Amino acid sequence: MKKYLIYAAVLASLVLLSGCFGKTNEEYEPNVNDEYTAETENKDTETENADGKNQDVIKWFDEYADKNYPDNIADFSTEDYPDTVFKCDGNNVFAEKDGETQLLYSGMPIWNVYFADLTGDGKPELCSGISFGSGVIDEHIVVYDYVNRQTYQLIDRMNYDYTLELQNGKLTAVKRKYLSDKTEETGILKIRNGELTME
């Protein structure tokens, strides 16, 4: 009887441990050959920039929110950058302008991209929730200032994960303990004194 109890305890421990490892992205295989181009913009939401002014939030794509997420991520254009076409292959965001392609940032994968003016300069930044790492995978938020070619990050690797969500029309950072699904804190995504923060 004691032998069976030991076996049961070992089995229960294995079941519990199986849920404690990081998320894998093996099933996410983006197709880099986009079949269509989207130039429509969703401007029915807004967030605050560094000056406290409400700014439009433009959604490019969001794998978390879209139930019918496409196999191919459509190219994206916005009137804020009329000569630029933004592209994403799932793991990299590119900007194509005047026949030249520039890599802006990468993830493993990139879960979403929104455009919002967080710096207050009148031009929207690219805002993304991404996973990153090999073996040890974390989730954090990247904001890319396309005008000034500057990257901001909300990251605390192996301590907290940060995901980007659109909540009540606001770009919201969701903070969780590393490898936990329990939300510790939420806040509006902002740039203050050159730092990406949640308030």
- Least Cα distance to 175 among 148, 199, 143 occurs for 199
Residue 56: CB atoms within 10 Å: 16
- b/e per residue, 163-183, with b = 16+ CB within 10 A? bbbbeeebbbbbbbeebeeee
Integer Cα distance of 85 and 70 in angstroms = 19
- Least Cα distance to 84 among 109, 65, 104 occurs for 104
SS3 192: strand
**For the chain, how many residues are written?**
199
Integer Cα distance of 75 and 88 in angstroms = 7
Integer Cα distance of 75 and 108 in angstroms = 19
Quick check: 58 and 41 in contact, CB under 8 A?
yes
**Burial status of residue 161 (CB atoms within 10 A of its CB: 0-12, 13-18, 19 or more):** buried
Q: Full-prediction pTM beyond 0.95?
A: no
The confidence score (pLDDT) of residue 53 equals 53
Q: What is the pLDDT along the chain (199 residues), one digit of tens a residue?
A: 433 333 344 334 433 334 443 333 333 333 333 333 343 345 545 555 555 555 689 999 999 888 666 678 999 999 999 999 999 999 999 999 999 999 999 999 999 999 999 999 999 999 999 999 888 899 999 999 999 999 999 999 999 999 999 999 999 999 999 999 999 999 999 999 999 999 9
The confidence score (pLDDT) of residue 66 equals 82
Quick check: 87 and 32 in contact, CB under 8 A?
no
**Burial status of residue 52 (CB atoms within 10 A of its CB: 0-12, 13-18, 19 or more):** exposed
The confidence score (pLDDT) of residue 86 equals 98
Integer Cα distance of 61 and 114 in angstroms = 7
What SS3 string covers 102-122? EEEEECCCECEEEEECCCCCC
Integer Cα distance of 195 and 185 in angstroms = 18
